Structure 1
Amino acid sequence: MLKKKFMKYGLMKKHMELVRKGKYQLARKILNVLKNETVYLGLSDTEWETEEICEEIGMKIKITRRGKAIVLSNQF
């Protein structure tokens, strides 16, 4: 539970940083991860950067039939 809170805090911090830099599409994807806790990604540059940010924070990336899914939890 504590690990999940640290991940959320890291995402919020990164979201604020992206908004300050003017990367609004990427910030919106990060906000969707925070809101929904599971987000499916495609192959665009924005989604690739979202995946990279989430991997840095320590989130798990799961590959499904629909594509890559970012899951904000301690277990799959």
Structure 2
Amino acid sequence: MELNSIFLFGIPSGMEWVLVILALLLLFGGRKIPELMKGLGQGMKEFKKARNEASDDSKKSVDESNGKDDEKKS
């Protein structure tokens, strides 16, 4: 399977982004776009924060379990 066929419908190219932006402007108007982008940015920030916390928690639990294994070996 070629790489081009995998991304055929997945990732928009330059002209498609222009059409998406124009559609957003028509649907929401110029005043609502900054509010939408602010909300999107806040959502991405919260997602990254949660992802990092989950990663830290999993690393901590792995470290703790490795410490318990070391104690059992001694």
TM-score scaled to structure 1, two decimals? Answer: 0.26
Higher strand share: 1
Asked which structure has the greater CA Rg, the reply is 2
Larger relative contact order (Cα-Cα within 8 Å, sequence gap ≥ 6): 1
TM-score scaled to structure 2, two decimals? Answer: 0.26
